[in-house]
Amino acid sequence: MTASADPSVCAMVNEEQLRILRQGVAAWNRWRGKQPAIHPDLCGANLRFADLREADLSRAGLRGANLSDADLRGANLSGATLRGTDLFRADLFRANLSDADLHGANLRQADLTETNLRGANLSHADLVRAQLISTDLAGAMLTGSSVYGVSVWGIKVNELTKQQNFIITDHDEPVITVDNIKVAQFIHLLLNNQEIREVIDTITSKAVLILGRFSEERKPVLDTLREALRKHDYLPILFDFPPLPNQATLGTIKTLASMARFVIADLTDARSVLQELQAVVPAFPAVAVRLMIRKSEHEYGMLDEIRLHRSVVEDTYEYEDTDKVIASIRENIIAPAEAKVEELRRLIRPVAR
């Protein structure tokens, strides 16, 4: 048994090594432990339906091998060469493929849940209908991969992850590419599903984010405001969160604000709303903001800085009680907010030549 001169190149399967592997994972791992310097030559091997759970296949040459329907859960494939390898429907749950070469590999319908693909080369790989759930893709190369029907949830990427030219269409459709795997499915749905487009249009044209304090006393006010907005054909969004917002909370609020037509912020007994406004207002200068506060309350001095932004309606609506708010919602809340929306749109609308 000899080691390959270059672990990334192998001409044909090493029959003796293949025989050891077919004796089972325990026998194979014992042999690997005794021969740590050898890069196994398993190119072209037929390992379809093989049970390779927890197998040490690190640095193995598996180019062109048939691993379709193989059980590779927890297997170590770090640094392995899997160029053009058939991994159709393979189970790679929690497998380690860090720095593996999967260029052009067939990963159709493969389970890549919690798989370690840090630094792996997945360029031009077939990921059609694959499951990428909590998959680590930090530093991975994904250029030119086919991702039609891929399931993507909670994946890990970073600035070193190369995301370019994902093919989001099926083989019999005109080729459309995007540069972000997280939005690939969404873009395809947007292009091909009229109902999805209608939902997006509804959100962007009618969504109103309501900010305020969710205490036992104040929450009913916000709920009443939400019901009133519904009657005026808006889509109110009320995000209930702990009194002291953390970075994750602020991130969610910013995401919701980015989709809103305008924001209503009730400052009554709600110092935390200032933090939310400080996160939202500078970030989204095209989203109108309407401030309101109960007359018995005093405004916070920090509001002066927030009011400097053009997106904020100049005056703060002061109200006596909830009934007065609902009775005059169109005049004192909706109309000023909509006027600000139109003003902001005129500012960003390109000048006709």
Kindly report, residue by residue over 276-287, the tens digit of the pLDDT: 899 999 999 999
- Beta strands in 37-182, from DSSP E residues, in sequence order: 131-133, 151-153, 166-167, 177-178
User: Within the chain, which residue ranges are assigned CATH 3.40.50.450?
Assistant: 204-348
CA proximity to 80, closest of 55, 63, 94, 93: 63
pLDDT at 153: 93
Statement: residue 4 has pLDDT above 60: no
pLDDT at 244: 60
| DSSP category for residue 316 | P
- Beta strands in the chain, from DSSP E residues, in sequence order: 131-133, 151-153, 166-167, 177-178, 207-211, 235-238, 262-266, 288-294, 317-319
- Structure token pair of residue 121: 């080369």
Query: CA 87, CA 78: separation in Å to the nearest integer?
Result: 16
| DSSP category for residue 56 | B
What's the pLDDT band for 275 if we cut at 50, 70, 90? confident
What's the pLDDT band for 11 if we cut at 50, 70, 90? low
Helix and strand numbers (H, E) in the chain are 11, 9
pLDDT at 302: 72
What's the pLDDT band for 328 if we cut at 50, 70, 90? very high
The pLDDT > 70 percentage for the chain reads 91
First-to-last alpha carbon distance for the chain, in angstroms, is: 76
What's the pLDDT band for 97 if we cut at 50, 70, 90? very high
Q: 204-348 — its CATH code? A: 3.40.50.450
Statement: residue 3 has pLDDT above 70: no
Beta bridge partners of 5: none
Buried b (16+ CB within 10 A) or exposed e, 292-324: bbbeeeeeeeebeebbeeebbbeeebebeebee
Q: Which CATH class is domain 1-192?
A: mainly beta
What's the pLDDT band for 37 if we cut at 50, 70, 90? very high
User: Within the chain, which residue ranges are assigned CATH 2.160.20?
Assistant: 1-192
What average pLDDT does this structure show over 70-74?
Answer: 98
